[in-house]
Chain A
């Protein structure tokens, strides 16, 4: 599948902050069988505008269609393709480690130190870690911790991204 450019891509989307817009965007993806890997949304400095960061795994042709179809929607104000631009992108990830032994707890602290995570809560036999890093690194952390501990609970936020400040502006 690699020959037609199948890969993960990122879009940043400015939309009207109105009822039903999220459903319109996600409905477009499901209705047209586009992959929707992750989607985050929040309001911007302008309360009438929301901004979404969307990840999709698609080939070149499909990705072109996705951008065009998004652009067609009346509620979509702007579509920015994050492929091939410098972006800052992070995802928040919480991992709760349960049924911890003493050794497990020590391990948690080591992991936190290695991955620059925070221990944000702590109990008799559980530890709660907070990671803010790229989605890929979060994938790796989840894989590692799943192997390391008997019982973990995971929630992740989906990536948010913004363009880097360009060389011109620096």
Chain B
């Protein structure tokens, strides 16, 4: 067979793996790869404005399509800029393959220009990472990278490519199969354990499903909804699991955890069987650990052995893919009598319904409910903070809707790049991002990408002039000492807050939109919400910024005090 360069083999691998889109930013160490990409037309190359946002775009592309997201960045700063995005993808189990350029082998270790040990830097936030040290290993490593990223519990894989290895001629062969002796992801369900779990379910008086992000990742929503329909067992979800069953389902109670609905946290507290699927019992979910679900036996289905009994000791562990497990369960389950238990839950719901205080002007709930009304089909991407929790509480996720967010790492700046990635992967679906004014500014340069790629995304900014979530903690637990959270503060008011006039807010988001060639609508009252969305959704090529004036005193309730127990909820001030 004819020998080809490593660069050519990489481009061939992209085609073999059916990578239709990659997100790339060029540099000296990857210029030869860029050159090979120029010569082909199978893989579309997106050029974001910053690697930090680039990796979020690939991440959201992957989350929204189920395909593997692919990044290509250069060595040194290009590579280090991936760090936050890799960790974001790692904590939310997103399949990514990231290629980083590297200096030639003889320069590695010399502190060469744009040299960093990116494999060392990212060791604890990638599923797998390796520097290709020999040209003959390249084909195998590329094949393994895609396999590892998408199988088992998905995650980001980083492949570091020294420039000279990539330039070397070698075999043109791209392997068909992988065989990694240390990596055999579990696929089959242990039927015995599953039957045991189903039996416990049938005996329980107050059973409860806890659905995590694993259901969404495994695309098991349809099967899970069927399971809920058959068994009559009520459902709570984690924030990442929202949409596991349609949020309009009569047996769906809501999200649990730090900002979970009262009825959900009470249900977890009172249930006698917690049947959890695809969650790692993160501290934001459980509150104080030893008082989590104190009356319940716990069944836990997860693809990751290490997620089981990591935080919460479980009675029946089942290592399996959520979809396989749920499908198998459907063979064994029968309808259970849960009417009385549901009545109790309904009482809790009535006692403390999840809703914000109505205001004459506008609340985040008004905006999110407008989205619910207007869009039958949409991908909603959030940033991180109060707006994210408001969205998690109020957004309706039905069959044709998806919710994407940085749940595990809590990465501000995910929202708008996330919308870009989702829209590129789903050109026919409306894509809406919701950010705070803080998070939006972390990656606002991506407006250029959105404009040039002609992506009619709708970027909502909940502008309360503050870093609201931290401010909320300061208001509730730090004696209203608003340190470092006011986005209007600066030299003019330092040390004189309240005595002098506040500086003017910057940036002017409408001018920003204009500067990039996007469109902006500033919404100051309730009546303007719907018309703004109606206008924005008509756009076919131009991104829209919808800026909503939000009162910084609108806090996210209920709230479990950090480190508190789930039943110990702050309902309102």
Contacts and interface: CB of A to CB of B under 8 A. Distances in A.
Interface stretch (B303-311, B325-333, B478-486): B303-311
A31 B124 CA distance: 7
Contact of B124 (A19, A27, A74): A27
B568 to A, nearest CB: 25
Instruction: Report, as a range, how many residues of chain B touch the other chain.
Output: 20 to 34
Contact of B182 (A23, A28, A77): A77
A69 interface: yes
A74 B148 contact: yes
A144 interface: no
B128 A72 contact: no
Contacts of A18: 130
30 contacts: A15-B182, A19-B133, A20-B120, A20-B123, A20-B131, A23-B120, A23-B123, A24-B123, A27-B124, A28-B124, A31-B124, A61-B309, A61-B313, A64-B309, A65-B306, A65-B310, A68-B305, A69-B306, A71-B305, A72-B305, A72-B306, A73-B182, A74-B127, A74-B148, A74-B180, A74-B182, A75-B182, A76-B182, A77-B182, A78-B182
Contacts of B123: 20, 23-24, 27
Contacts of A69: 306
Contacts of A75: 182
B183 A19 contact: no
Contact of B119 (A20, A28, A61, A78): A20
Contacts of A76: 182
Interface string A75-115: 11110000000000000000000000000000000000000
A71 B307 CA distance: 12
Nearest to B129: A20
Contacts of B131: 19-20
Given A24-B123, A71-B305, A72-B305, A77 B181 contact: yes
Contacts of B313: 61
Contacts of B119: 20
B123 to A, nearest CB: 5
Interface string A29-60: 00100000000000000000000000000000
Given A16-B182, A31-B124, A74-B127, 17 more contacts: A18-B130, A19-B131, A19-B133, A20-B120, A23-B120, A23-B123, A24-B123, A27-B124, A28-B124, A61-B309, A65-B306, A65-B309, A68-B308, A72-B304, A74-B180, A76-B182, A78-B182
A16 B120 CA distance: 17
A112 to B, nearest CB: 43
B128 to A, nearest CB: 5
Contacts of A16: 182
A19 B133 CA distance: 10
Contacts of A27: 123-124
Contacts of A72: 304-306
Interface string B458-481: 000000000000000000000000
Nearest to B133: A19
A20 B124 contact: no
Interface of B: 119-120, 123-124, 127-128, 130-131, 133, 148, 180-183, 304-306, 308-310, 313
A74 B128 contact: yes
Nearest to B180: A74
Which 7 pairs across A and B sit closest by C-beta, in order of nearness? A68-B306, A77-B182, A74-B128, A74-B183, A31-B124, A68-B305, A76-B182
Contacts of A77: 181-182
Contacts of A65: 306, 309-310
**B181, B183, B304, B308: most-surrounded residue (chain A CB, <10 A):** B181
B130 A20 contact: yes
Contacts of B309: 61, 64-65
A28 B309 CA distance: 18
A69 B127 CA distance: 12
A12 B345 CA distance: 50
A68 B304 CA distance: 9
A74 to B, nearest CB: 5
Contacts of A31: 124
A141 B340 CA distance: 69
A68 to B, nearest CB: 4
A4 to B, nearest CB: 11
A15 B133 CA distance: 19
A20 B123 CA distance: 9
B183 to A, nearest CB: 5
Contacts of B130: 18, 20
A163 B128 CA distance: 30
A76 B181 CA distance: 9
B236 to A, nearest CB: 25
A6 B308 CA distance: 21
A133 B46 CA distance: 62
A61 B290 CA distance: 14
B482 to A, nearest CB: 33
Contacts of A28: 124
A109 B128 CA distance: 52
Nearest to B306: A68
B547 to A, nearest CB: 40
Of the listed residues A61, A74, A75, A77, the one surrounded by the most CB atoms of chain B closer than 10 A to its CB is A74
Contacts of B304: 72
Contacts of A64: 309
B29 to A, nearest CB: 19
A27 B119 CA distance: 12
A24 B125 CA distance: 11
Nearest to A27: B123
Contacts of B180: 74
A34 to B, nearest CB: 13
A69 to B, nearest CB: 5
Most buried by B among A61, A68, A69, A73: A68
Interface string A146-161: 0000000000000000
Nearest to A77: B182
Contacts of B305: 68, 71-72
A61 B314 CA distance: 12
